[in-house]
A = this chain, B = another copy of it.
């Protein structure tokens, strides 16, 4: 058959996203770090306003202006330091395209968010990823990261799938030393202690870009809204690569309503954190090795060192968790924090498993 596309596209491996059962199916879904609670009830008013006024027939604002301004206010930065994107995925994709020319190198700790290697390959220009394995205690290997050279250094903060939050001063040292752009992906930062974010460091470091999302802490995975924060100069350059109208109108205003409802946000976050700490204790009592996660998921090592069997047993019992097969992760499973009820069911299913 004649090949009409670039040869590299035929060679490219397609990204396979995590399993998504139908949203209304009855499984307990603890495999993709979604929030167990619904988003702010305030979003309903905004939806009603937009739909009842027939505004959906109009183009959205091309830079999601109202949402962008509120995000800027929220973080105490200028609105020209914010690029609102179609999920943080679009922001990450834009950043990788902006940085990676022919045969560039992306440095990442390993494991970290599994999308970075995909975004490197997808450039189809010979760019490659250089993985720096985590230390035995699952923390970043800062000595090796400090020596690594590349056009882009990308990591999640807290890291995924471990949930571990590195010290700010260690990260800042690396940002300072690294010669290229540093992406600090803060998808889960809202579940970490206050003031953990690197956003205030942007003032000092022109090479630092932060990505954020409304998916997890604002319970809005379904609407696909995220953003990048960086210097005005970086954001202006990155904006050139976005689609003209990349975020829908209804999505902009749902995210805006959720962001403005900080009372709901804070109480929801508190509930998730409380469940997380509670689940940590209960799993430890059952003999699990539990990492010090500051995210909305736990990375845990089963007492009988049989994570794959645990994953499969739970799956049969309609509890979906995540199992990764890379060298380090293969000894663990990752469990998203559910509601108290879901966590109780999980613990009871795990207890059944351990008695097998």
Contact = CB atoms under 8 A, between A and B. Distances in A.
A347 interface: no
B241 A60 contact: no
Nearest to A15: B244
A180 interface: yes
Nearest to A92: B243
Nearest to A10: B237
A53 B34 contact: no
A228 interface: no
A222 B249 CA distance: 5
B206 A240 contact: no
Contacts of A5: 98-99, 181, 234, 237
Copies in the complex: 2
Interface stretch (A43-51, A189-197, A275-283, A300-308): A43-51
Interface in A224-262: 224, 233-234, 237, 239-241, 243-251, 254
Contact of A4 (B2, B207, B219, B220): B207
Contacts of A180: 4
Nearest to A50: B222
A80 interface: no
Chain B CB count within 10 A is highest, among A6, A12, A151, A222, for A222
A24 interface: yes
A240 B12 contact: yes
A284 to B, nearest CB: 28
Given A4-B180, A207-B4, A237-B5, A39 B56 contact: yes
Contact of A98 (B9, B20, B50, B250): B9
Contacts of A122: 240-241
Given A47-B47, A245-B87, A35 B9 contact: no
A76 interface: no
Interface residues on A, range: 35 or more
Contact of A9 (B50, B124, B241): B241
Contacts of A100: 6
A61 B9 contact: no
B24 A234 contact: no
A72 interface: no
Interface in A77-104: 86-87, 89-90, 93, 98-101
Contacts of A174: none
Contacts of A61: 20
15 contacts: A4-B206, A6-B101, A7-B101, A17-B59, A23-B53, A23-B55, A38-B57, A47-B47, A86-B86, A86-B246, A90-B243, A122-B240, A223-B249, A223-B250, A248-B248
